[in-house]
C-alpha cells in the first residue's frame, strides 16, 4: 500500500496499465494501493459497483448523498443495499435541511438556481465526506453520455486532489445488465419505469425509448451535470 500522497502521475500511470483490465482488477488495484483510504460513492441507481467492490473487500465504506430530495425508491434501494451487502454505509447529508435551505434561499432553489442547489446539496457534502480518503471509486461509465466518452479507469481528481477510480468506465449497458442478471444485483425500481439516469426527484424524469438516458436530468435546461464529476 502506498504511503505517499496521491498524485496525477500515479493516476495516469495506473490508467495506462489498467485500461484493458477487468473491473475487478481495477478495484483490486485501488484497494491494494490505498487500503482503508479508498471508498465507493453510489447514487443507488443500481448496486453493481457496491456488489463488485464488497465482494473483494467486505466492509468497504460506501458514501450515499442523502440530498433530501430523493425518490422513495432510491432511499429504498440504499436501505436494501445496506442490508444485502457487506458494506459500511455512510449516509451524508447537506449542512442545511431542505426547510433550512428554503428559509435562507427561498423555496424550490432547484428551479431558480439548480447549480447552486447542487452545490449545496451534493458537491459540498461529497467534498466533506471524501476528506478522510485518498481515493474514491465511482460507477461513471463512458456510455453514460457524450461528456464521459473519454473517462479513464483511473484519473486525477484535481478539484479534490485525490485519485478517482472508475472501474466500470468501459462497461456498456449490456455489460451492466449481464452483471445484474448473473449476480442478482439490486437495481432501483425506477429504472424499469424509464428513469435511466436517476438524481433528485424534482430534477429527474423518465425518458422515452431511444432518448438519451441523460435527457431526463434537468429537462429543459442547459445543465447536464450536478458538479460531482466535473
The predicted-structure confidence for 118-157, as pLDDT tens digits, reads as follows 999 999 999 999 999 999 999 999 987 666 778 999 999 9
pLDDT band at 227 (very low <50, low <70, confident <90, very high): low
Q: Return the pLDDT at 230.
A: 66
How far is Cα of residue 184 from the mean position of the Cα atoms in its chain? 20
Q: Would you say residue 228 has pLDDT above 80?
A: no
**Edge-to-edge strand list for the sheet holding 38-41:** 87-92, 60-65, 38-41, 135-137, 162-165, 154-157
What is the spatial distance between Cα 81 and Cα 12, in angstroms, rounded to a whole number? 32
What is the spatial distance between Cα 215 and Cα 176, in angstroms, rounded to a whole number? 20
Q: Return the pLDDT at 61.
A: 98
Mean pLDDT rounded to a whole number for the chain: 93
The end-to-end CA distance of the chain, in Å, is 28
What is the spatial distance between Cα 115 and Cα 221, in angstroms, rounded to a whole number? 11
Q: Return the pLDDT at 50.
A: 98
Check the CA dihedral 124-52-191-184 and report its sign: negative
What is the spatial distance between Cα 50 and Cα 87, in angstroms, rounded to a whole number? 8
The three-state (H, E, C) secondary structure of 103-136, written as one string: HHHCCCHHHHCHHHHHHHHHHHHHHHHHCCCCEE
Q: What is the DSSP letter of 165?
A: E
Q: Return the pLDDT at 101.
A: 98
The answer regarding whether domain 8-188 maps to CATH 3.40.50.2300 reads no
Q: Return the pLDDT at 209.
A: 87
What is the spatial distance between Cα 30 and Cα 24, in angstroms, rounded to a whole number? 10
What is the spatial distance between Cα 174 and Cα 91, in angstroms, rounded to a whole number? 30
Q: Give pLDDT tens digits for 73-109.
A: 999 999 999 999 999 999 999 999 999 999 999 999 9
| More confident site: 3 or 50 | 50
Q: What pTM, to 2 d.p., does this model score?
A: 0.93
Active site residue 200: no
Q: Return the pLDDT at 204.
A: 93
For residue 90, the tally of other CB atoms under 10 A from its CB is 15
Q: What is the DSSP letter of 5?
A: P
Phi, psi of 110 (to 5 degrees): -60, -20
Choosing from 117, 118, 203, 226, the catalytic residue is 226
In this structure, the dihedral spanned by the alpha carbons of residues 209, 215, 216 and 219, taken in order and rounded to 10 degrees, is -130
The full set of domain ranges for the chain reads 8-188
CA distances from 173 to 48, 70, 154 (A): 12, 23, 20
Q: Are strands 154-157 and 135-137 parallel, antiparallel or unpaired?
A: unpaired
Amino acid at each position: 500500500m502506498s504511503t505517499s500522497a496521491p498524485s496525477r502521475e500515479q493516476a495516469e500511470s495506473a490508467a495506462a496499465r489498467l485500461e484493458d483490465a477487468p473491473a475487478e482488477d481495477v478495484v483490486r488495484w485501488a484497494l491494494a494501493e490505498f487500503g482503508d483510504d479508498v471508498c465507493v460513492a453510489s447514487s443507488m441507481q443500481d448496486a453493481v459497483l457496491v456488489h463488485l467492490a464488497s465482494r473483494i473487500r467486505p466492509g468497504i465504506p460506501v458514501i450515499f448523498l442523502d440530498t433530501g430530495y430523493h425518490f422513495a425508491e432510491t432511499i429504498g434501494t440504499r436501505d436494501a443495499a445496506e442490508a444485502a451487502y457487506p458494506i459500511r454505509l455512510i449516509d451524508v447529508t447537506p449542512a442545511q435541511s431542505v426547510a433550512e435551505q428554503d428559509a435562507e434561499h427561498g423555496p424550490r432553489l432547484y428551479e431558480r438556481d439548480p447549480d447552486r442547489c447542487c452545490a449545496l446539496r451534493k458537491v459540498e457534502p461529497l467534498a466533506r465526506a471524501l476528506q478522510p480518503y485518498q481515493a474514491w471509486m465511482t460507477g461513471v461509465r463512458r456510455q453514460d453520455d457524450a461528456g464521459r466518452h473519454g473517462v479513464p479507469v483511473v484519473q486525477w481528481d484535481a478539484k479534490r486532489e485525490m485519485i478517482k477510480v472508475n472501474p466500470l468506465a468501459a462497461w456498456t449497458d449490456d455489460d451492466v445488465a449481464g452483471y445484474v442478471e448473473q449476480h442478482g444485483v439490486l437495481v432501483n425500481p425506477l429504472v424499469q419505469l424509464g428513469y435511466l439516469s436517476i438524481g433528485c426527484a424534482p430534477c429527474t424524469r423518465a425518458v422515452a425509448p431511444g432518448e438519451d438516458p441523460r435527457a431526463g436530468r434537468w429537462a429543459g435546461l442547459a445543465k447536464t451535470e450536478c458538479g460531482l464529476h466535473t
